[in-house]
Amino acid sequence: MVPAVSLKSLHSAKWRSDPYAFYADLHRRGAAAPLDAVRDGYDVIVYGYHAVDALLKDTSFRLMDSEYMDGRVPHWRDHTVLRTLKDSMFFVNDAVHARLRHMFGHVFTPRRSTLLEPIIARLTDELLDRMEKLGRGGEPLDFMAEFAFPLPSNVIGELLGVPEEDRAWFQPRVRAISEIFELDGSTWANMLAADDATAELLDYFAALTAKRRGDPGDDLVSALVSTDASDDPLSDVELLANLIALFNAGFVTTTHLFGCGLAVLLQRPKMLAALRDDPDLASPYVEEMLRFAPPTHFLVRYASQDSEVAGVEIPKGSSVVVAIAAANRDPDRFADPDVFDPARTDNRPLSFGAGPHFCLGAALTRSEGSVAFPMLLRRFPELAFVGDPGVPRRLQFRGYERLQISVTGRES
């Protein structure tokens, strides 16, 4: 029998600072383990690379949809955030998911992401110009606020048709929603804040879709509200839920890719210099950043039938924490998993999931990273930390709140 583990220790300051040491201990135990459902809130954790990959491709392990919530979480519909998100493609299964995925999928293709690269480059240049002005004379600036948040926000805003002047308004509302997805984040205060944020976002996107119906543009919202968009058009509820979910998901992970990725490079000057000198290295660098410091650490599924994973029994109805960040550090899959090595061969991290729910925006995130990192490093060859960067503290969407840097040498 596989011994149980607990996630409670992850909430301590020690493990929040270095969850990878916790994952390394898990790997010494196997590929999956039971959890204490009363203490942890979930029944099983799966963390071995091959076990995670197989589970995510197994359609009997389902997203926490409305059917699951109705049977296990009383009064969940009282929360605007949950009621809204459960109508999005990120919380539905089977035919409903396939339909929504098809309707949005034509926008988030690898080809479309490649075509967007000139726009990504233009938006990057504009942000670098601002950073150059703010950072003259070695003045410190916050990389997260000045680059890591606005670039992906502007890219997804361009895609959806969110006006540029509105995009900064989204940041605190997106953050409020993100908080509830932490392993210990569904507190009453967090839920109320997320409900308020969702209500404001619903009002915003309702107004935007109404405007696009009367004055369409070349953007996703206009396409979706067009009478010719589909033989099976989205309902208003589906449309608003998916726009909120897409905007949130469209930049949160990319924001943390930039923050964590830059920290990784600044801590490894020779690797930073190699990427600056050869932009063609950007793609493998970004892939290794996604493996080594993934923006998302956990997914959650439930078993729709009795199952077994890596010797652990998973009865029907059990909730499963899928530890994708741990899978990315599995020594049975990656040699020297705790070493940052962009030269790895067959480097296929699970940072975007796998199977039918593989992240819709994966190609776009990769394109943003591959375009923007070389431009950033070439523009600012003296880029450096200001003080101790510290470490991220969140567990689920893991990234820096602030990252103080200088982009030029300090004037004497």
The pLDDT assigned to 393 comes to 80
Q: State the Cα–Cα distance between residues 199 and 35, nearest whole angstrom.
A: 35
Q: State the Cα–Cα distance between residues 205 and 160, nearest whole angstrom.
A: 10
Alpha-carbon dihedral sign for residues 377, 379, 381, 384 = negative
Q: State the Cα–Cα distance between residues 225 and 214, nearest whole angstrom.
A: 10
- Domain range for 316 is 8-406
The answer to whether residue 412 is domain-embedded is no
Q: Are 304 and 364 in contact (CB under 8 A)?
A: no
Over residues 335-392, the pLDDT tens digits come to 999 999 999 999 999 999 999 999 988 999 999 999 999 999 999 999 999 999 988 8
Band of the pLDDT at 412, cuts 50, 70, 90?
very low
The answer to whether residue 286 is domain-embedded is yes
**Cα-atom radius of gyration of the chain, to the nearest Å?**
21
Over residues 241-300, the pLDDT tens digits come to 999 998 888 778 899 999 999 999 999 999 999 999 999 999 999 999 999 999 999 999
**Whether the predicted pLDDT of 411 surpasses 60:** no
**Whether the predicted pLDDT of 101 surpasses 70:** yes
Band of the pLDDT at 82, cuts 50, 70, 90?
very high
Mean pLDDT of the 188-210 span: 95
The pLDDT assigned to 409 comes to 62
The answer to whether residue 254 is domain-embedded is yes
The pLDDT assigned to 9 comes to 81
The pLDDT assigned to 230 comes to 55
The residues pairing with 32 across neighbouring beta strands, listed in sequence order, are 46
Mean pLDDT of the 208-223 span: 89
The answer to whether residue 48 is domain-embedded is yes
Over residues 158-171, the pLDDT tens digits come to 888 899 899 889 88
Q: Which pair of tokens denotes residue 202?
A: 């619903």
Q: State the Cα–Cα distance between residues 208 and 27, nearest whole angstrom.
A: 48
The pLDDT assigned to 231 comes to 63
- Give me the chain's average pLDDT, please: 91
Which has the minimum average pLDDT: 125-129, 210-214, 324-328?
210-214
Q: State the Cα–Cα distance between residues 87 and 239, nearest whole angstrom.
A: 9
Half-sphere exposure of 316 (CA within 13 A, CB side): 4
Over residues 325-341, the pLDDT tens digits come to 999 999 999 999 999 99
**Whether the predicted pLDDT of 1 surpasses 80:** no
The answer to whether residue 2 is domain-embedded is no
Q: Output 22 or 217, whichever has higher pLDDT.
A: 22
**Whether the predicted pLDDT of 227 surpasses 60:** no
Band of the pLDDT at 16, cuts 50, 70, 90?
confident
Q: State the Cα–Cα distance between residues 81 and 330, nearest whole angstrom.
A: 34
The answer to whether residue 411 is domain-embedded is no
Q: What is the largest CA-CA distance in the chain?
A: 68
371: how many CB neighbours lie within 10 A of its CB?
24
> By percentage, how much of the chain surpasses pLDDT 70?
98
Please count the structural domains in the chain.
1
CATH number of domain containing 275: 1.10.630.10
Mean pLDDT of the 305-320 span: 96
The answer to whether residue 63 is domain-embedded is yes
**Whether the predicted pLDDT of 40 surpasses 80:** yes
Band of the pLDDT at 235, cuts 50, 70, 90?
confident
**Whether the predicted pLDDT of 410 surpasses 70:** no
Burial 41-77 (b: 16+ CB within 10 A, else e): bbbbbbbbbebbbbbbebeebbbbbbebbeeeeeebe
The pLDDT assigned to 54 comes to 98
**Whether the predicted pLDDT of 97 surpasses 70:** yes
